[in-house]
Amino acid sequence: MEQEQIIREVTLDLEKVSNSNELGEVRNKYLSKKGLISGLMVKMKDLPVEEKITFGKTVNELKEKVTNLIESKRAEIEEKELSAKLESERIDITMPGDDFARGSKHPISIINDEITQVFLGMGYTVKEGPEVEEDLYNFEMLNLPKDHPARDMQDTFYIDETRLLRTHTSPVQARTMLSLNGKGPVKIICPGKVYRKDDDDATHSHQFNQIEGLVVDKNVTMSDLKGTLELFAKKMFGNDRKVKFRSSYFPFTEPSVEVDVSCGKCGGKGCPMCKGTGWIEVLGAGMVHPNVLRMSGFDPEVYQGFAFGLGIDRVALLRYGIDDIRLLYSNDLRFLSQFGKEN
Please report, as ranges, the residues that interact with ligand DAH according to CB under 6 A: 168, 170, 212, 250, 253, 284-286, 307-309
The H or E element that residue 287 is part of is strand 279-288
Give the shortest CB-129-to-ligand DAH separation in angstroms: 13
CB neighbours (10 Å) of residue 300?
A: 14
CB-CB contact of 282 with 233 (8 Å): yes
Name beta bridge partners: 70.
none
Using the minimum distance from each CB to ligand DAH, give the nearer residue, 9 or 258. 258
Give the shortest CB-226-to-ligand DAH separation in angstroms: 13
Using the minimum distance from each CB to ligand DAH, give the nearer residue, 107 or 311. 311
The H-assigned helical ranges of 34-170 are 36-44, 49-88, 107-121, 135-138
What whole-number distance in Å separates Cα of residue 324 and Cα of residue 281? Answer: 17
Give the shortest CB-312-to-ligand DAH separation in angstroms: 12
**Which residues, at least 6 apart from 217, have a Cβ–Cβ distance to it below 8 Å?**
184, 185, 186, 187, 303, 304, 305
The H-assigned helical ranges of the chain are 3-16, 20-31, 36-44, 49-88, 107-121, 135-138, 171-178, 222-237, 290-295, 312-320, 333-336
Give the shortest CB-214-to-ligand DAH separation in angstroms: 7
Using the minimum distance from each CB to ligand DAH, give the nearer residue, 228 or 253. 253
Give the shortest CB-109-to-ligand DAH separation in angstroms: 20
What whole-number distance in Å separates Cα of residue 22 and Cα of residue 28? Answer: 10
Using the minimum distance from each CB to ligand DAH, give the nearer residue, 59 or 172. 172
Using the minimum distance from each CB to ligand DAH, give the nearer residue, 110 or 257. 257
Cα three-residue angle 235-248-274, rounded to 5 degrees: 55
Using the minimum distance from each CB to ligand DAH, give the nearer residue, 13 or 135. 135
Give the shortest CB-170-to-ligand DAH separation in angstroms: 4
Using the minimum distance from each CB to ligand DAH, give the nearer residue, 26 or 211. 211
Using the minimum distance from each CB to ligand DAH, give the nearer residue, 1 or 132. 132
**Which residues, at least 6 apart from 130, have a Cβ–Cβ distance to it below 8 Å?**
166
Give the shortest CB-327-to-ligand DAH separation in angstroms: 22
Give the shortest CB-169-to-ligand DAH separation in angstroms: 7
Three-state secondary structure call for residue 236? helix
Closest residue to ligand DAH, judged by C-beta, is 309
**For residues 52-71, b (16+ Cβ closer than 10 Å) or e, as one string?**
eeebeeebeebbeebeebbe
Of 187, 173, 307, which is closest to residue 248 (Cα–Cα)?
A: 307
